Amino acid sequence: MLGAARLPAAVPARGWLRAVREAVGLTQVDVATKAGVKRQSYAQFENAEERGSISIASLRRAAEAMDCELVYFVLPREAAARSYAVLAGVHDPMARHLSATDQSMRIEGKERTDEHG
């Protein structure tokens, strides 16, 4: 699962904002106008992303101006966890609670039927 997420997550050489903007056929002026900023300000968004210093708020603003959705995530390295489920089980108190609930219900001969599982 983690390997499958890594391939699409590879960042284009000059950043996602520029790559998506060019792919959908927009100019910096187009995006800047929709974002309510000057072209120079939008150009700074692209440059900041390329340097790795853009804020999430700026990414979101640019994405919305291109009629895109911003999705970001932190992807654990293979050594950290083999799956998100393992990671959640180790670090998420709610996952431990659900596991305890599942165990109690198995003892009682019942099954949990909600969306968690």
83 and 47 share one domain: no
Contact 46, 112 (CB under 8 A): no
pLDDT, average across residues 13-39: 96
Domain of residue 86, residue span: 76-117
Residue 51 has pLDDT above 80, yes or no: yes
71: in domain: no
Report the percentage of the chain scoring pLDDT > 70.
59
> Which pLDDT value is given to residue 60?
97
Residue 117 has pLDDT above 70, yes or no: no
Residue 73: Cβ-neighbour burial (10 angstroms; 0-12, 13-18, 19+): exposed
70: in domain: no
pLDDT, average across residues 13-26: 95
19 and 55 share one domain: yes
Q: Give the tens place of pLDDT for each residue, 36-48.
A: 999 999 999 999 9
43 and 80 share one domain: no
102 and 53 share one domain: no
113: in domain: yes
